[in-house]
Homo-oligomer: A and B are copies of this chain.
């Protein structure tokens, strides 16, 4: 128990060498068990290392042998199942390449995100994820690190970004609702930012394509409870509403619960269609119809693009960076 650390200097390989009466190289051999070392010597070195509490510096080690690359994955909220799925997909794609993934959950706070990016830059070889930071800020913080943004609503020239195209899917969803006889269709948009979401734009455009006025809209926090509250508010203001499209599945699930509490049968009295295609959606009652995104593909695509940027080999662009969403009908509509 030699925690007799007076000065807080780090225990280096030389300390161990001195303590065991051998050279650095021998210590290195013992620790990484490559041969060319006597059994007793090896044991002595190992003991000394343990005694001193020696832990090799991964930086020094990484410096000399060209080590694996590692990317930072920035996620707003890992507990949101959508991001969980994307993260899992990215992790998987990264592992296939032998990469290490450092995960940062910003808790959906922009200031937190800034701090994260600041600290991330010197730790990883590239960054991929959801960033709310303005471009210049990212540029300044990353200083040339490859960056792959996901679902950046405003277009980005400076960085690669995976775009989510839900237009077709949302049109199909609204079309389906209209074909089922619905006319008064509302939307539960997210309440995060000040302006309406892109998904709301798609909704409006789909409505007008069906010859309907933009329906009534309520803002919801990205949580089940948020969805509940928002649906109640919407139905209070517009009781004649017979169908809702929601910003995402989490909100839709909240809407499902609220509908049940309000005594509205789904889909008979109220049809609900979400967005994202969460696996979770098939577990609730009734199973949620949704405009589904291929989250696996999304994560894989983001990693693929990162790889290309890292290799400076013909990065993907334009349409290759788009993930399309499509209507997946279950039972809620």
Over the window 36-63 of chain A, the binary record of Cβ atoms lying under 8 Å from chain B Cβ atoms (1 yes, 0 no) is: 0000000000000110011111111111
- The CA of A5 and the CA of B61, in the complex, are separated in Å by 26
Most chain B beta-carbon contacts within 10 A, residue among A62, A103, A107, A124: A103
Q: How far is the CA of A312 from the CA of B189 in the complex (A)?
A: 50
**Interface locus among A165-173, A201-209, A278-286:** A278-286
Contact with B along A93-133 (1 / 0, CB 8 A): 00100101111110100000000000100111100000000
| A78 neighbours in B (Cβ, 8 Å) | 84, 87-88, 91
**A57–B31 Cα gap in the complex (Å)?**
25
Task: Report copies per complex.
Answer: 2
Most buried by B among A5, A56, A100: A100
Least Cβ distance of A311 to chain B in Å?
Answer: 9
CB pair B68–A79 under 8 Å, yes or no, is no
A224 within 8 A of B: yes
Contact with B along A130-169 (1 / 0, CB 8 A): 0000000000000111000000000000000000000000
**Closest CB in chain B relative to A206 CB, distance in Å:** 28
A107 to B94, CA, bound (A): 13
CB–CB A144/B88 < 8 A: no
Partner of A102, one of B31, B88, B100, B313: B100
Answer whether residue A92 sits at the interface, using C-beta atoms and an 8 A cutoff.
Answer: yes
CB of A264 to closest CB in B, whole Å: 15
Given contacts A123-B70, A143-B31, contact A224 B283 (CB under 8 A): yes
Interface-centre pick from A3, A10, A260 (highest chain B CB count, 10 A): A3
Report the bound CA distance from A138 to B253 in whole Å: 42
How close is A111's CB to chain B, nearest CB, in angstroms?
A: 13
Interface size class, chain A: 35 or more
Give the chain B neighbours of A221 by CB distance below 8 A.
none
Whether A269 is near chain B, meaning CB under 8 Å from some CB there, is no
Find out whether the CB atom of B123 lies under 8 angstroms from the CB atom of A67.
Answer: yes
For A68, list chain B residues within 8 Å (CB): 119, 123
Q: Is A125 a contact partner of B58 (Cβ separation < 8 A)?
A: yes
A85 within 8 A of B: yes
5 contacts between A and B (CB under 8 A): A49-B144, A67-B122, A87-B103, A100-B102, A280-B283
Chain A residues proximal to chain B, CB less than 8 Å: 3, 5, 10, 31, 49-50, 53-63, 66-68, 70, 78-79, 81, 84-85, 87-88, 91-92, 95, 98, 100-105, 107, 119, 122-125, 143-145, 224, 253, 257, 260, 279-280, 283-285, 312-313
